[in-house]
Chain A
Amino acid sequence: MPTAYPEDSVGLVTPQQLHFSEPLELACGRSLADYTLVYETYGTLNADRSNAVLVCHALSGHHHAAGYHSAEDRKPGWWDSCIGPGKAVDTRKFFVVSLNNLGGCNGSTGPASHNPQTGQPFGADFPVVTVEDWVHSQARLADALGIAQWAAVIGGSLGGMQAMQWAISYPERIRHCMAIASAPALSAQNIAFNEVARQAILTDPQYHDGHFIAKGVIPKRGLMLARMVGHITYLSDDSMGEKFGHRRKNEQLNFDVHSVEFQVESYLRYQGQEFSERFDANTYLLMTKALDYFDPAGKYDGDLTRTLADVQADFCVISFTTDWRFSPARSREIADALIAAQKNVCYLEIDAPQGHDAFLIPIPRYIQAFSSYMNRITF
C-alpha cells in the first residue's frame, strides 16, 4: 500500500549492509579481521558512476540521513532537511551514500557487536578508531559500490573532519569537499568537554569496565550526563535563552535540590534520557576519542597548509556565527590554509542563532549556499 511521503522526501528507504572480510589495519596498531558497514543510498548512480556523494555523520549520527524506514516513522533521517529531490543534495542529480561508521551502534561493527575471538560482545575491547580509519573503511565501501571517485564528500562537525580527511588521504578520489561547522583539530576546551562526558560514563557503576552488555545492564546515568553536557555545547546562549529563558515548570519554588524546576533542566534531562536509551556507551567513548585525535596537521608539524598541499578537491567551508563548539575561527583556519595552499575554496560564515546545531537546521541562507555549491558540481 503506497503511503504518502512529502514530495521532497526520498521516501521509504531500506538500510543495506556489506561485509568486508579483508582485515583493516587501524591507526592504533590493531586490526579488524572482518567487519560490516551499514549504509543507505538515495538517488541513482549514473552510467559512468560520477554522481556519487558521500555523507559522513557526526558524533551521534548514523546511516539514516534521509527518508523514512516505515510509514509509522515520526521523524525522517537526521539530515532530511538537506537531502532529497530538489533539496541541497538533490537526489534527482546525485547518488547519495550514507553509512554508519565503524565503532558505531546502529548496525555497523562496533562495541556492541559480537567479538568472534571471545564469543562475547566487544564492549571496551573494541579498538579505538580514528577519522583516518573511518575514511579507509569508507574507501572500501566506495570500491565495493564501484565508485572510483566521489563527486563530493560532505559532512558537518565530525562529519566535516571525515570529508577533509578524504581530501587529504585520497586526493584523486574526491572532487569536492564540503566541511560544515568543522575544525582542523579540537581545541583544549572541546577536548575538555569530551573528557567530562567520558568521565560521566566511565565512573557510572553500571559501566563495568565497558562490559556492561555481558552483565545485562547499561550505564544509563553516565550516558545521560554525557549527552546533557554535550547538548549544552551544541546550542548557543541565545538559542537556549530564547527556548527556555528563566522559565520554570511550576510557579512555586520547591526549595528542593532534587526536583526539576526550570524548563531547561527538564529539556536536558529528557534529551539525556532519550539518548541513553538508544546509544551505546562504548560507541560514545570511541566517537569522542576520534574527535580528540583528529589532527591531520600533526604529521606536518602543525602546518595545515602543507597538510593540504596535495589536495585536489575544491572546498566549500561553512561556519555559523554562534557556534562556539566549532567556532567560525576554526573554519577560517581551514579556509586560510587552503588559500595559502592555492586551492579552490569558498568560505561562508552564516549568521545563525542556533549554535553548533545550526548545521542540521534549514536556515535559508545556509540552504541556499549549500544548494548553489552542489548545483555547480558537474559530471
Chain B
Amino acid sequence: MRADLDIIQEWIPAGSRVLDLGCGDGDLLYWLRENKQVTGYGLEIDPKQIANCVDKGINVIEQDLDQGLGNFASNSFDVVVMTQSLQALRYPDKVLREMLRVGRTCIITFPNFAHWRCRWYLATKGRMPVSEFLPYTWYNTPNIHFCTFRDFEALCREMQVSVRDHLAVDHQHRDSLISRLWPNLMGEIGIYRVSGPAHAE
C-alpha cells in the first residue's frame, strides 16, 4: 500500500464506515476491509481506476467531487478521506465543508506549496515549480488550487474546523525531525485529521 495510506489507516478505527473521495484503485478501502473490517464507498472519476476498484470488489461510485456530496446524508460516515485531491478541486473549501457535514472525522492529504524546493524554484527561476513529484506545467496541471500548510490551517480556523492530528512528510511519506520542526518549509505532503465544530471532542 502507498506510504501515505499506511499512515492514514492508523487514524481509522476498526469497523468504521469510510467514504474515500478520489479513491483511486481502491487500495485503501481494500486494505481497510481486509484488515480492519471497515465498510464504505470510494468515489472516483477515472475509468481505469474505477475498473480496478470493480476488480477488487470495492464499492466504487462514479462521481465528480466538484459536484458536491449532496447525495450523502449528514453524519453518515465515521471517516471521510481525501488524499491528494484537494488541490485539484474547483471549490476546495466547499468540498471540505461537505466532507465535515458527511463525516465525523476527515482525513486530508495535499502537497505543500511552501516546501523549500518550491520556494527555491520560484525564487531562482521565477517560474511555476515543476518537479518529479509535481510534473505538470501551469497550463496543463490538474492542480488548480495549490496551498501551503499555513493556508490550509487558516482555512480551518476560518471554518471553525479543529485540526486533531497533523503530520508533515516528504514525498515518499517519510516523517523526519526536520519536517516536524519546520513543517511549512520542510514538509512536502501534509496529512491532516480534522473535525467540524459539531464534532469537537
Contacts and interface: CB of A to CB of B under 8 A. Distances in A.
Interface of A: 316, 332, 335-336, 339-340, 342, 344-349, 351, 365, 368-369, 372-373, 375-376
Given A332-B71, A339-B72, A369-B50, A346 B55 contact: no
Given A332-B71, A348-B50, A339 B55 contact: no
Contact of B54 (A332, A339, A376): A376
Contact of B39 (A332, A335, A342, A349): A342
B53 interface: yes
Main secondary structure of the interface of B (DSSP, over half): mixed
Contacts of A376: 54-55, 57
A335 B47 contact: no
Interface stretch (B58-66, B121-129, B177-185): B58-66
Contacts, number: 46
A332 B70 CA distance: 12
B156 interface: no
A346 B71 contact: no
11 contacts: A335-B61, A336-B71, A339-B71, A342-B17, A345-B41, A347-B63, A348-B54, A372-B51, A372-B54, A372-B55, A376-B57
Interface of B: 17, 39, 41, 47, 50-51, 53-55, 57-63, 71-73, 76
A369 B54 contact: yes
Contacts of A369: 50-51, 54
A373 B73 contact: no
Given A339-B41, A344-B59, A345-B61, A365 B54 contact: no
Nearest to B43: A347
B55 A375 contact: yes
Contacts of B58: 346
A78 B65 CA distance: 37
A340 B63 CA distance: 16
A335 B63 CA distance: 11
A348 B58 CA distance: 13
The 3 A-B residue pairs with the shortest CB-CB distance in the complex, in nearest-first order: A372-B54, A336-B71, A347-B61
A344 B39 CA distance: 9
A316 B58 CA distance: 11
Looking at A344, A348, A373, the one whose CB has the most chain B CB atoms below 10 A away is A348
Nearest to B54: A372
